[in-house]
Amino acid sequence: MARPMTITEKILARHSGAEEVAPGQFVNVKPDLVMANDITAPLAIDAFRATGAVKVFDPDKVALVPSHWAPPKDILSAELVYKMRHFAREQGIDGFYELGRGGIEHVILPEEGVVVPGDLVLGADSHTCTYGGVGAFSTGVGSTDLGCALATGETWLRVPESLRFEYNGKLKEYVTGKDLILFTIGQIGCDGARYQAMEFVGDTISSLPMYQRLTMCNMAIEAGGKSGIVPPDDITREYEDGRAKREPVYLESDGEAEYKERYVWDVSEMEPQVAYPFLPSNTKPISEAKGLEVDQVFIGSCTNARFEDLEVAAEIFKGRRVHERLRCIVLPGSDRVWRAAEKAGLLDVFVDSGCSVGPASCGPCLGGHLGVLCEGERCATTSNRNFRGRMGHRDSEAYLVNPFIAAATAVAGHLCRPDDLN
């Protein structure tokens, strides 16, 4: 009889051909999907060629997404996208998401049903852990590892220990999955889950919509996690119905499964959270942050640029204007999200309010372009990292918030809640 296992261990066992696995064990696994973007794919392509391989292991299991320099900002970034685009053509990879027909990988792959529950996904991007929101094991790897996976169709992993995070209670107005994960990182630190699988459960999670589950798992890496995961349930099944490109595998942790640590929190009184520079763990409730003036607000990134994120922000902007002393940048997470937002009238609301609406791109999240900060500037951002220099000059500051707080801040000119507005 197999030992009781967590959902993470079950996925790794299935993909290594083993009946069971245990934390600390090294396993060879065969991924369902390997992914790279315009920063990491060129290096992975070089590593692939260095192996002597001529053809990728399976072109149907490869996704290449230009997202970080989308559209390219200079000659060098254009060359990176060119290299990825022509590799896709050479290899017959249909999963190349051209500008205007793609967006940010961590938004488009779940929404297109390319990643499904039970999958094992390798991505040359640290926020690949996002896909745990649908019940997949997904983790970031280096470009060299990804290049070898492109050639062989497998890689090795050390089975991580699992941490169980249980959240109970009904969330207050304006509190979201972004606040749950910021609170969690604030409690355990940016290395509190180092090389461990973060499993999110509890009655709060059971009622959390899919877009917020994806947000939570997206930021598992900000706690040092190897992965984040929400066990599939009826919300997952409803999300996958008519969307999944392959048959999902719905798994759950055994009742007697072992966890390194278990955390239980009542979050019914939680406030929206703000992560101060220069760590995602440097969190404060919005009541302690209210009044801090900012120069820019950014609503976007792989963390909070899904349709529902834009929808809640637009509701706050409706009939209001961006404060005269700052600018607000809105970048939808995918071209599908952009079109849906346009159809729903959200983009008109943003533009009428004085926001700058741009293409589906990572943009300023990584200090790339479309909103980079100069020395001394402050930005309230729905993205996932606020390390020194992350969004521009090393002496600029980024404050991580949810879309409700970002929109309210853009109107007020300082950090605040929507119910602080006139």
Residue range 402-415: mean pLDDT, rounded: 98
376 in the same domain as 315: yes
Domain final residue pick, 264, 284, 311: 264
In a domain, 241, yes or no: yes
Reported as a single tens digit per residue, the pLDDT across 20-64 is 999 999 999 999 999 999 999 999 999 999 999 999 999 999 999
339 in the same domain as 198 = no
Residue 127: domain span: 7-17+26-264
End-to-end CA distance of the chain: 63
Residue 326 and residue 221 share a domain: no
Kindly list the strands in the beta sheet with 196-201, ordered across the sheet, starting from the edge strand earlier in the chain.
227-229, 196-201, 161-168, 261-266
- Percent of the chain beyond pLDDT 90? 99
Q: Considering 234, 264, 294, which residue would you say is the last residue of a domain? A: 264
Name the pLDDT band for 396 (thresholds 50, 70, 90). very high
How far is residue 337's CA from residue 214's CA, in Å, rounded to a whole number?
A: 15
Count of all residues that appear for the chain in the document: 422
For the chain, the domain total comes to: 2
Q: Verify that 286 and 346 share a domain, yes or no.
A: yes
**pLDDT of residue 2 exceeding 80:** no
Domain-ending residue, one of 240, 264, 288: 264
What's the pLDDT at 422?
74
Q: Which residues pair with 397 in a beta bridge?
A: 378
pLDDT on residue 1? 57
71 preceded by a cis bond (ω within 30 of 0): yes
In a domain, 1, yes or no: no
**Token pair belonging to 145:** 């590892």
- CATH code of the domain in which 309 resides: 3.30.499.10
Residues 61 and 121 in one domain: yes
Based on the fold, state whether residues 336 and 253 are members of the same structural domain: no
Task: Specify whether 320 is located in the same domain as 357.
Answer: yes
| Residue 231 placed within a domain | yes
The owner of tokens 């300082």 is: 414
How far apart are alpha carbons 160 and 223 in whole angstroms? 14
Domain-embedded: residue 2: no
Indicate whether 212 and 280 sit together in one domain: no
43 within a domain of the structure (yes/no): yes
Position of tokens 């209670």? 169
Asked, for residue 211, whether it belongs to a domain, the answer is: yes
Same domain, yes or no: 258 and 281: no
265-293, pLDDT tens digit by residue? 999 999 999 999 999 999 999 999 999 99
Residue 270 lies in a domain: no
Residue 182 in domain: yes
pLDDT for 309-332, tens place per residue? 999 999 999 999 999 999 999 999
Dihedral sign (CA 51, 55, 59, 64): positive
Answer yes or no: do 96 and 12 share one domain: yes
Cα separation, 292 vs 75, in Å, equals 38
DSSP string, 170-228: PPPTT--HHHHHHHHHHHH-TTTTTTEEEEEESHHHHTS-HHHHHHHHHGGGGGT-SEE
Residues 166 and 289 in one domain: no
Query: What is the layout of strands, in order, in the sheet containing 356-357?
Result: 283-285, 273-275, 397-400, 378-381, 296-299, 327-330, 356-357
pLDDT in tens, 194-241: 999 999 999 999 999 999 999 999 999 999 999 999 999 999 999 999
For the entire predicted model, the pTM comes to 0.96
Domain shared by 190 and 289, yes or no: no
Q: What is the pLDDT of residues 52-96, one digit of tens each?
A: 999 999 999 999 999 999 999 999 999 999 999 999 999 999 999
